[in-house]
Structure 1
Amino acid sequence: MQFASKLGKRIAAFAALAAAAVTLSACGFNTIPTKQEATKAKWADVQSQYQRRADLIPNLVSTVQGAAIQERTTLTEVVEARAKATSVNVDASTITDPAKFQQFQQAQDGLSSALGRLMVVVERYPDLKSNQNFLALQSQLEGTENRINIARNDYNESARDFNTTLRTFPSIVWAKTIYGGEKPFEYFQAAAGAQNAPSVNFDGLKPSDPAPAAPAAAPATVQ
């Protein structure tokens, strides 16, 4: 009888815990951390694609130098933009800090703009456009740019879903209490002038300047 009584109490306790878990789940207690982790995963995808692009640029610069070495200014812009983009410190707080997020996006958009101008310059060099190594790198960059756009859109959608969760019932109850310290995520915005084709002032190029050194493929700081 004593054994049966203890067993009955354990079963009752287990049933109570199970019921509590179901209740918490039904009222949205787990919704905030679940969506938060999903958004962080999307952010990691964005980071991965930007890093892939940064790693392709050293070979691209070296290839262009060999066929269009007089285009010093445009190559220097690419090298400097990559250095700036990879020097931005990125950690978990970036996607909830408006200033950090804007700094990150501006640096990446600056690199996109510099690469766009470089591709305009390439049009002046038929030999370079037929270079197999350059064509392979160009194809990889185009594919990476597409993946960056997809990753950014997926992140924005996940961030929107999470941010809405913080403001709607019943999850807002937990957002104001247990998860009161959680901040909304920032969104990627279209770069200013993104709808315009890159412009290059060829008169401003300086053939006498020394060629820029190809950047090393050092990864950005990610935590």
Structure 2
Amino acid sequence: MYNRFVRQRTLVDESWGGIDVELTRRHDLIPQLVDTVKGYAAHEQAVLSRLVEAREAATAHHGDSPAHRQAYEDTLAGALHHVLARVEAYPDLKASQSFLALQEELTNTEDRIAASRRFYNGNVRAYNTRVRTFPSNVVAAAFGFRTRDFFELREAAQGAVAG
């Protein structure tokens, strides 16, 4: 039982790494989006500033637990959604090849975040079930295996990105 716990815990950690990679990818795309939008919509400075601040906060909490990081990622997704909704008012920006390519990258990244999140949460569910059910809960308690937090993003940036 102990070895199975170790394997499952490792799988949970590995699957969190997949989410982390995709969130970092999204963080890395934000400055490109801000630069692209600035060129077409200079008077949207307040909206862009909120996006930059949300990105910086999310990036600063890169190593935090999923439960703690979730709020920062939700804020970032909301700010991203707001910027992309404002883009609708700028036909020249919406027609820009660089913006369209960036929007496609963001859409793909959001899809990968969702897939990674489902994989992670499935592994957490299986692990937590073992930690909480008898007789494996006895082994879990004896060796300090604790339940893990799920990772759910509340703001659906996906819909906004897909535009």
TM score, norm. by length of structure 2: 0.90
Q: Which has the larger radius of gyration?
A: 1
Contact 1:74 1:118 in 2 (8 A): yes
Find the aligned partners of 2:141 and 2:48 in 1 and give their Cα distance: 51
Point out where structure 2 has 5 or more consecutive residues left out of the alignment. none
Counterpart residue identity of residue 148, structure 2: F
Matched residue of 1:182: which SS? coil
User: What is the CA–CA distance in structure 2 between the aligned matches of 1:89 and 1:125, rounded to whole Å?
Assistant: 33
* Corresponding residue SS for 1:151: helix
2:8 counterpart of 1:35? yes
Asked if the contact 2:16/2:120 (under 8 Å) is kept, the reply is: yes
Q: 1:169-198: per-residue Cα shift (whole Å, max 9, x none)?
A: 342232132x2x22110012352x759x88
Alignment of 1:142-161 (within 5 A): 142-161=107-126
Aligned length: 159
2:146 to 167, 183, 189: 183
> Which residue identity does 1:105 align to in structure 2?
Q
Contact 1:53 1:144 in 2 (8 A): yes
Matches for 1:1-80 after TM superposition, within 5 Å: 28-80=1-53
Cα distance in structure 2, aligned partners of 1:89 and 1:63: 25
In 2, Cα distance between equivalents of 1:112 and 1:142: 12
Report the equivalent of 1:135. Answer: 100
Q: Which runs of 4+ in 1 moved over 3 A?
A: none
Pairwise CA RMSD = 1.9
Q: Given residue 186 of structure 1, which amino acid in structure 2 is its aligned partner? A: D
Q: Check whether the contact 1:31–1:171 (CA below 8 A) recurs between aligned residues.
A: no
Structure 2 residue 77 is matched with structure 1 residue 112: yes
Answer 1 or 2: which has greater helix percent: 2
Identity %: 39
Gaps of 5+ in 1: 1-27, 96-100, 199-223
